[in-house]
Structure 1
């Protein structure tokens, strides 16, 4: 397994720790891409796309979980919520 594959695996594991909270509110998150410059792209799904708390959930939940698991990530962005891009 190369380092990019390992990094993606760590990102997916981090997202799994947050998913139950998203599911409880009718939402989810999908891993979209890890760019060559270590930017993680996520897609908010379900009620998370339009929730007024999505920015806080994104930064304090998803991004924080990913950064704990993979501290060398440069940025975490949303591919479908413009204000989180």
Structure 2
């Protein structure tokens, strides 16, 4: 069980994502933080990352790995497809 509330996780999650952002930018991509709900971090890949075959690996082994190292090993990451930002409960 994660000993933090969703609200307590927001700033550390944003900081961890900011560590990854330069790597994504090198390939023409980016990432937007959307929210944290029940220890699930919702993000949206942007730019060249949209539709990239490596995007799921980037999320799992790049972004999620960084979150687990920096914050807590039980955090998970979920990519929010464009248009689904207001419908997170269905992801």
Shorter-chain TM-score: which interval? Answer: 0.7 to 0.9
Which residue is 2:64 aligned to?
63
Q: How many correspondences in the alignment?
A: 80
What's the RMSD between the two structures over aligned residues? 2.0
**1:1-20 to 2 correspondences below 5 Å:** 3-20=5-22
Gaps of 5+ in 1: none
* Whole-angstrom distance in 2 between the partners of 1:40 and 1:17: 15
Which residue is 1:50 aligned to?
51
Task: Compute the TM-score of the two structures, normalised by the length of structure 1.
Answer: 0.81
Distance 1:72 1:57, change over 3 A: closer
- Residue by residue, what CA displacement relative to the aligned partner does 1:12-69 show, whole Å, maximum 9, x if unpaired? 110111111100111000011111x211101000110111111111111011011112
- Whichever structure has more helix as a proportion of its residues is 1
Preserved contact between residue 29 and residue 45 of structure 1 (Cα < 8 Å)? yes
Q: Secondary structure of 2:53's match? A: coil
Q: Which structure carries more relative contact order (alpha carbon 8 Å, separation 6+)?
A: 1
| Consecutive aligned runs of 4 or more in structure 1 exceeding 3 Å deviation | 3-6
Preserved contact between residue 40 and residue 73 of structure 1 (Cα < 8 Å)? no
Gaps of 5+ in 2: 83-90
Distance apart, 1:4 and its partner CA: 3.7
